[in-house]
Amino acid sequence: MFYRAAGQFKTSYRADQALFPVRQDAMLLGFILILAWVVFPLTASEFAFQTLLIPILIYSLAALGLNILTGYAGQLSLGTAAFMGVGAYACYKMVTLMPWMSPVVAILLSGVFSAGIGVVFGIPSLRIKGFYLAIATLAAQFFLVWLFEKWAWLYNYNASGAIQVPNLQSFGVYVSGPQATSMVQYYVVLAVVTLLTWVCINLTRGTTGRIWKATRDMDFAAELIGINLMKSKLGAFAVSSYIVGVAGALFVFMWRGAAEPNLFDVPLSFRILFIAIIGGLGSILGNYLGAILIVGLPVILGVLPEVLGMQTDSALAEHLNTMIVGALIIFFLIVEPHGLAQLWRLIREKLVIWPFPH
């Protein structure tokens, strides 16, 4: 009833190509945007900002970047965290070498560096495929983390080997560092995420998106219909790594405040891969759903016993949490291997014909 698409006719191809051919989708998105831009920031507690809102957005963005590469262009990568690291270190070097630079500009530029490194490590994709490529991306993962550790210039020869985000202002407001408030940081993250999501939607629904999907679905056929596989794959690596790099810069500058090299190690890569897969490969929406589940669930599981007034041992809760996340991953893969986005698509299909299913 709410999702009736009947009566909404398109009179031009242009209208049919609009972002939301069904009016209700646009309304739903508007509602979510109001929630994200107005309601959440006004009502969220510090705890909610720091453990739910900001990390969910950043993880979604990282997963979006990975999804471009893996979900759209079909190149499995296990090195996401390392490219996040490249973004974070690039951002750190930029703001410390050029303190006049606005941190927001630095964050957006930092993706350029990760894109460059991404293309270099994407070159093997021209020759190897599938799991072999996935393992090859681990070479980037391990090598880059090692480099973050050994190349003291990257962390300004800091004795601890870690980077510490300085207090930086943009338009007279502290945007990064401990002086920045969570609300400001949230808005910066939200703005960047909104912008990049919109860009990704445009890219994936147009020519580039079709080139990537063709490469993913059947690479030789793609080449035989005129797609330059090298450009397609390396382009996907570049765009993906750009987004991942920006996510990495946000991760450290807008959220964590400090970073050690091993922060960008394999577990983070896997975490982002989980989000992308549980959310749904080849879907933009899925990244958000996946991040809400993977980031939000442990927080809720952690708070739940307390809310229920149960006295639990925090270590036991943590072990149970690990077990539950593991079991949930298997559960979701069995129930809906195409992820939460597909689940939503099915629900939506039902809603469109509700209450008159044939």
Partner 1 sequence: MLDATEGHTTADGRKIGPVVMEMKNITLRFGGVVAIENISFDIREGEIRAIIGPNGAGKSSMLNVVSGFYTPQEGEVWFRGQPRPPMKPYQVARQGIARTFQNIALFEGMTVLDNVMTGRLTHMKAGLFSQALWKGRAEAEETANREIAERVIDFLEIQAIRKTPVSRLPYGLKKRVELARALAAEPKLLLLDEPMAGMNVEEKEDMSRFILDVNDEFGTTIALIEHDMGVVMDLSDRVVVMDYGKKIGDGTPDEVRNNQEVIDAYLGVQH
Partner 2 sequence: MNYTARLAAAAMAATFAASAGAQELNLPNLSYRTGPFASTGTPVMNGQADYFTMLNARDGGIGGVKVNAYECETGYNTEKGVECYEKTKGDAIVTQPWSTGITLQVLPKTNVDKIPILAPGYGFSAMADGEVFQWAFNMPASYWDGASMILKALGGEDMGGLKGKKIAFLHLDHPFGKEPLPYLEKKAADVGFELLPIPVGLKEMQNQSAQWLQIRRERPDFVIMWGWGAMNTGALTEAVKTKYPMDQFVGIWWSGHSDDLQVVGQDGKGYRAISFNAPVEDAPVWADIQKYVIEPGKTESDEEQRGEVFYQRGLVMSMMLAEGIRAAQEEYGTGNISPEQLRWGLENIELTAERLDELGMTGMVPPFSTSCGDHTGHSGGWMLQWDGAKFVKASDHLQENRDEIAPLEVEKAEEYAAANAPWPTQDCN
Partner 3 sequence: MLHDIFIAPFADMIAAPDFLMQVLWEGLVSGILYALIALGFVLIYRSSRIFNFAQGIMVVFAALTLVGLHAMGVPAWISVVLTLAVMFGLAVAIERVVLRPLVGQPDIILFMATIGITLFLIGFGEIIFGGENKVMITEELGIPTGSWTLEPFGGLLILEQKDVTAVAVAAMLVVGLLVFLNRTQMGRAIRALGDDSQAALSVGISLRTIWVLVWFIAGIIALVTGIAWGARAGVSFALEVIAYKALPVLMLGGLESIAGAIIGGLMIGVLEKLFEIYWGQPLLGGNTETWFAFVLALIVLLFRPQGLFGERIIERV
According to the binding rule CB under 8 A, does residue 229 interact with partner 1?
A: yes
Residue 170: phi and psi, rounded to 5, are: -140, 125
Give the nearest distance from C-beta 303 to partner 3 in angstroms.
18
81 binds partner 3 (CB under 8 A): no
Task: Retrieve residue 5's tokens.
Answer: 């698409």
Q: Which of residues 173-192 bind partner 1 (CB under 8 A)?
A: none
Q: Does 93 bind partner 1 (CB under 8 A)?
A: no
From 17-25, 175-183, 204-212, 230-238, span contacting partner 2 (CB under 8 A) = 175-183
- Spatial distance between the Cα atoms of 198 and 195, rounded to a whole number of angstroms: 5
Binding partner selected for residue 161 from partner 3, partner 1, partner 2, none, CB under the kind-specific 5 to 8 Å limit: partner 2
169 bridge partner residues: 174
Strands 173-176 and 258-259: unpaired
Does the footprint of partner 1 cover residue 8 (CB under 8 A)?
no
Please report whether residue 51 would count as binding partner 2 according to CB under 8 A: yes
Provide the b/e sequence for 137-149 (b: ≥16 CB within 10 Å).
Answer: beebbeebbeebe
Task: State both tokens at 137.
Answer: 């991306």
By a kind-dependent CB cut-off of 5 to 8 A, residue 325 interacts, out of partner 3, partner 2, partner 1, none, with partner 3
* 204 and 284 Cβ atoms separated by less than 8 Å: yes
Taking CB under 8 A as the criterion, the residue among 323, 346, 347, 353 binding partner 3 is 323
Chosen from partner 1, partner 3, partner 2, none, partner binding at 274 (C-beta under 5 to 8 Å by type)? partner 3
The strand ranges marked E within 133-188 are: 163-164, 168-170, 173-176
Residue 90: closest CA among 222, 226, 306, 252? 252
Considering the rule CB under 8 A, would residue 258 count as an interface residue with partner 3? no
Residue 317: closest CA among 331, 298, 330: 298
Of residues 41 and 166, the one with the C-beta less far from partner 2: 166
Point out which residues bind partner 2 (CB under 8 A). 46-47, 50-51, 146, 149, 156, 158-162, 164, 166-167, 177-179, 256-258, 260, 262-263, 265, 299, 302-303, 306-309, 313-315, 317-319, 322
